[in-house]
Copies of this chain bind each other. A is one copy, B any other.
């Protein structure tokens, strides 16, 4: 259990650090071979409307999407900073672990202005693999349906 908690902390810290360092290939490596990644406004999710800003139900799709974002990013150059709160470990089952954590993402533009970009909740299903703990499903519940600018990097 304690080992598990340490591994969850490591995975979340790594997740934020790799995105903030723009190391997207390594970031993809945090996901299991079969995985699902989606970004949905909290309001839609609570009403049962699965309309989201991003939905990838395979790792190939996630890789494609990252490539597209990198292209788009040329027109929205910025750096990200993730702050991830204490995780809540829920209903652990054999070889599965549900984890929730609040997050805030701040963006800094080329003029050097740092602004709050988005807040929300990660709801992750983690699986134990030979390569360690990996993300099987990641649901990013955004607090707003109106992200201020283009979603140019994964959250």
Q: In the complex, are the beta carbons of A13 and B86 less than 8 A apart?
A: yes
Contact present for A112 and B10 (CB under 8 Å) = no
Q: Verify A88–B13 contact, CB threshold 8 A.
A: yes
A79 with B146: in contact, given A85-B84, A114-B119 (CB under 8 Å)? no
With A20-B121, A104-B104, A106-B143 in contact, do A13 and B114 touch (Cβ < 8 Å)?
Answer: no
A143 to chain B, nearest CB (A): 4
**Least CB distance, A53 to chain B, in whole angstroms:** 13
Question: What's the number of copies of this chain in the assembled complex?
Answer: 3
**Interface residue? A108 (CB, 8 A):** yes
A144 within 8 A of B: yes
28 contacts between A and B (CB under 8 A): A1-B6, A2-B2, A13-B86, A13-B87, A13-B88, A14-B88, A16-B85, A16-B102, A17-B88, A17-B121, A20-B102, A79-B143, A81-B121, A81-B143, A82-B102, A83-B103, A84-B85, A84-B102, A85-B85, A86-B87, A111-B146, A112-B146, A113-B144, A113-B146, A114-B119, A114-B143, A114-B144, A115-B116
Q: Which residues of A contact B (CB under 8 A)?
A: 1-2, 5-6, 9-10, 12-14, 16-17, 20, 42, 79, 81-89, 100-104, 106, 108, 111-116, 118-121, 143-146
